Amino acid sequence: MASVKRGATYVEKGGVGKTTSAAHIAVAAHNMGHEVLLIDLAGTQNDLATHFGITISEDGETNGVSIDAPISAVFGDDWAFLRDNIDDLLDRMTFSTDEGPDLIPADPGLGGADNNLANVPLEERYQKLDGFVEDLVADAYDLVIFDLPGKEDNIALNGLFAARSVVAPLKPGAFERDQLQKLDATLAEISADLNIDLGLTLVIPTIISSRETLSESFVDHVNSEYPEIVGEPVTKTADIGQNQNAGRTLYAVPDDELYATGKRAREAYSANTEQLLTQLTDR
Ligand SMILES: Nc1ncnc2c1ncn2[C@@H]1O[C@H](COP(=O)(O)OP(=O)(O)O)[C@@H](O)[C@H]1O
Ligand SMILES: [Mg+2]
């Protein structure tokens, strides 16, 4: 049976670098020879489609591409029918990016899908996405990365159930110690609720500035809390935001157009991706 490595970027907090990490890890893994699918279940303004310069038009009339088969369908009542009757369903759900990975963008139906899942019997509620990966994704890709919302909703729980493996970017902040404790507690609780072994696979200190003492002590703290699974700290750099706005990751930028901080951040994401790939098991 075909198998695929799975990982999810998840922290119950916004603005910590989940989406940025998902995009950079996906491209780094592609450059290392993997067939990568990114699935956006977060869908905020800073979404993965925008990161790759793909404009989704909601009315199908303005510039951009329209979504033919949305990811939210996976969570709906008609899913089994669609899966069994549309031959090129996965192709219709995915978009190619210029940087290698394929992308399933977030769609506006995810909010409604989250609500509808509340009415699904508990024993099926969190397994919809896992079924989709098994049925359609595992044959076509060898790595799938889910970008999850920064809250514990039914969509995030589906992502965690499907991935079993969490990549947690953490940025320095006033509540840094709480952040780590809360993350551990949340994952332990979800593992118990879903009856799975949900592991924290990689912790990435992000948006780290060597000029800020808070940043340095934060990295030390994360290192001492997670000596086994801490990754390379990702430097704070203006290159990240600027290139996100231009619809590309740091991997699509020529060296001479990056600051030293941008190059360091890119190297850190490459090292983190290598570390992640050695930790993820095929499933
Ligand atoms: N290494 C970095 N240096 C500077 N800014 C960054 C870095 N990583 C992410 N950002 C910025 O931080 C903000 C939040 O990142 P994002 O990946 O969207 O977080 P999340 O998905 O957790 O909400 C974005 O504006 C992004 O451009
Ligand atoms: Mg995000």
Q: Cα–Cα distance between 46 and 128 in angstroms, integer?
A: 25
pLDDT value of position 60? 55
Q: Which residues contact 220 (CB under 8 A, 6 or more apart)?
A: none
> Per the structure block, which two tokens stand in for 145?
């990365």
Tens of pLDDT, residues 104-144: 999 889 999 999 999 999 999 999 999 999 999 999 999 99
Q: What atom of ligand 1 comes closest to residue 20's alpha carbon?
A: 17
Q: What is the DSSP string of 108-134?
A: TTHHHHHHHHTTS-HHHHT-HHHHHII
- Using CB distances shorter than 6 Å, the residues near ligand 1 are 14-20, 46, 150, 206-207, 234, 236-237, 240-241, 244, 265
> Per the structure block, which two tokens stand in for 225?
């809390």
Q: Which residues contact 34 (CB under 8 A, 6 or more apart)?
A: 142, 143, 277
Q: What is the DSSP string of 158-224?
A: HHHHHH-EEEEEE---TTHHHHHHHHHHHHHHHHHHHTS--EEEEEEE-SB-TT-HHHHHHHHHHHH
Q: What atom of ligand 1 comes closest to residue 21's alpha carbon?
A: 17
pLDDT value of position 180? 82
Query: What does the CA dihedral 163, 166, 171, 177 come to, rounded to 10 degrees?
Result: 140
Ligand 2 centroid – CA 147 distance (Å): 7
Q: Which residues contact 111 (CB under 8 A, 6 or more apart)?
A: none
pLDDT value of position 182? 86
Backbone dihedral angles phi then psi of residue 281, each to the nearest 5 degrees: -100, 155
Tens of pLDDT, residues 65-90: 888 899 999 999 999 999 999 999 99
**What letter represents residue 247's amino acid?**
G
By most ligand atoms within 8 Å of CB, the mutation choice from 240, 248, 250, 270 for ligand 1 is 240
Coil vs helix vs strand at 137 = helix
| Positions of the chain with pLDDT under 50 | none
Q: What atom of ligand 1 comes closest to residue 169's alpha carbon?
A: 22
Q: All domains of the chain, ordered by start, with CATH?
A: 5-279 (3.40.50.300)
